[in-house]
Amino acid sequence: MFWTVAIGVDTHKDRHVAVACDRLGAQVDTVAVPATAVGYLALWRWALSLGTPAFAIEGSGSYGAGLARFLLAADARVFECERPRRRERGRGKTDLIDARLAARRLVNGDRLARPRGHGAREDLRLLLLEHRSAVQAHTATLNQLHAVLLTAPDQLRQRLQPLPGPKLAAHCARLRQPNADTAVLVGVLRRLGRRAHTLAQQRDTAAHELEQVVNELHPQLLDECGVGPLGAAQLLVSSGDPTRMTSEPGFAALAGTSPVDASSGRQQRHRLNRGGDRQLNRTLHTIAIHRIRHHPPTRDYYTRLTTRGKTPREARRCIKRALARHFYRQLTTTNTT
């Protein structure tokens, strides 16, 4: 789609600031609109009055999500833009500077990504958020139960402390009040136990719904060794719409598995890539560990790498890079909606 004006948008919770640049990078106009449906419409009409627009939106997955949805529904050409680095801002930071930099990145031909998919992928992102939050809160609650038991009376501590986390929470939730001396202690243990039970239910419900959405969106991922509902969901959320991934090396860079050259003199080596989507990187790491243990071809590849002189850590990085290549083909060749 041909465009004549680049619109860079710096997004915030309450308002968005946009800067328009022509195809040579010269600033044409600026506007600030509220982050509401009325503001989105005003921004769209303003952009159309300047020519055929293309949009580079900073924060299209957070503060700019509503604007990105509106523009995509209007069949606009939309790209997501990362927050500018400090050295790119020059002498300061303002909303206009950030918006201008976003527009000029589009003018300069930077390979900006398309916004991540909405619909089912957005459902997966929200369910992953809920599941991760429930797991963290459940773990914290179990730790609090163990901490409270450390100072409990001997009889109660000896009866409850040997129990594993889930059983401990269930027993604490059913505690009865024995006497006035331990009224506060037993009350705290009972409420913590009930909280842990509720959080476990929320965690399991989110995991169940995750599996249902993954089965509808891309069931083939669940057939892969080492890929469960959570891992498949993270692959789909991080990759976004299949048309968003323009190349396999780009997906590897997104996953943080592309090697970074760290050679010096006679020593030729590559170091860890600390960039990219760290949740996606963690998912590939988990899959790699599982495959090394339970997937014969991966285990044989790991053995060959270590035999040739790779350290276990370097061998795992090679496997993660191969997995990124494998899942890129999976995510782009299978027809997903």
- Walk along the chain (337 residues) and give the pLDDT tens digit of each residue: 588 999 999 999 999 999 999 988 899 999 999 999 999 999 999 999 999 999 999 988 889 989 999 999 999 999 888 776 665 555 667 888 889 989 998 898 777 877 776 778 889 999 999 999 999 999 999 999 999 999 888 888 898 988 998 999 999 999 887 677 788 899 999 999 999 999 999 999 999 999 999 999 999 999 999 999 999 999 999 887 776 677 888 888 888 888 766 666 676 666 667 777 889 999 999 999 999 999 999 999 999 999 999 899 989 989 999 999 999 998 887 544 4
What is each CA distance from 171 to 107, 142, 151, 174, 184, in whole angstroms? 63, 12, 17, 5, 17
Q: Is 81 helix (H, G, I), strand (E, B) or coil?
A: strand
Residue closest to 6 by CA, chosen among 101, 113, 111, 117: 101
Residue closest to 62 by CA, chosen among 16, 110, 109: 16
Q: Which helix (H) or strand (E) holds 33?
A: strand 27-34
Q: Which fold does the domain 5-107 belong to in CATH?
A: Nucleotidyltransferase; domain 5 (3.30.420)
pLDDT at residue 161, rounded to an integer: 87
pLDDT at residue 337, rounded to an integer: 47
Quickly tell me which residue has 């914290």 as its tokens: 140
For residues 205 and 121, give the distance between their C-alpha atoms in angstroms, rounded to a whole number.
Answer: 18
229-239 vs 278-294: helix crossing angle, rounded to 10? 140
Question: b vs e for 43-61, b when ≥16 Cβ sit within 10 Å of the residue's Cβ?
Answer: bbebbeebbebbbbbbbbe
pLDDT at residue 117, rounded to an integer: 63
Give yes or no for a contact between 327 and 247, defined as CB atoms under 8 angstroms apart: no
User: Which pTM does this prediction carry?
Assistant: 0.78
pLDDT at residue 176, rounded to an integer: 84
